[in-house]
Chains A and B, each alone.
Chain A
């Protein structure tokens, strides 16, 4: 069980949260000019680093706010 620090509620158990995938995936600046392959890259492809990974979480059983955090994918340690 991970102990996740919500910026509003403080430290809570993992079961109160839902995972939102990689953070900072920007919407394409000029979506109409994208090829199918570029769209596929934007929609489906995500980083899968071994180490620090910026990701989104939502405190769904608490304040229901989204936030960004950095988790080490090796140790599961939250770094921010």
Chain B
């Protein structure tokens, strides 16, 4: 697929996970459509704000009271059709964002105003916020810690530049 171009391909110092399949789902949380969607996904749609539920190789991020983002691996092309429901909005937004993996809390804290200490933010949590003035979905996948930043493709180079720059300042201060 030569048309697929990752904005951070070959970027030094930043781990990118390109081409994840992302599907935005908007549905009434208590309705039958939501129940059918979660049954097909094999995991419940999370109802706790800013939480993530794992459903096999896929992850369901709660973005709002009636909005979820289902993230699957690269090549999960059947996902939009799997979730399709007459009374739900199911939109393939894979091309909207790319994913940057960051393994340092210190680094993120240079540009993020959220409290990322484990007492407040841990694996299985997500948040929509600003990092370095860029709108991101911040998602902690592991307590090591490992964070994923889901950022719009057009902002990815800027954010990667900023993170590379901030990496320099964290290492110099220990």
Contacts and interface: CB of A to CB of B under 8 A. Distances in A.
B50 A65 contact: no
Interface string A1-38: 00000001110110110000000000000000000000
Contacts of B67: 63
Contacts of A51: none
Contact of A65 (B64, B129, B130): B64
A16 B64 contact: no
B135 interface: yes
The secondary-structure label for the interface of chain B is strand
B129 A63 contact: no
Give the interface residue-count category, chain B. 10 to 19
Contacts of A12: 113-114, 129
**Interface of chain A, main secondary structure:** loop
A8 B130 contact: no
Contacts of A15: 130
Interface string A49-80: 00000000000011111000000000000000
Given A64-B64, A65-B64, A65-B65, A9 B130 contact: no
B124 to A, nearest CB: 16
Interface of B: 49-50, 63-65, 67, 113-114, 127-130, 135
Interface of A: 8-10, 12-13, 15-16, 61-65
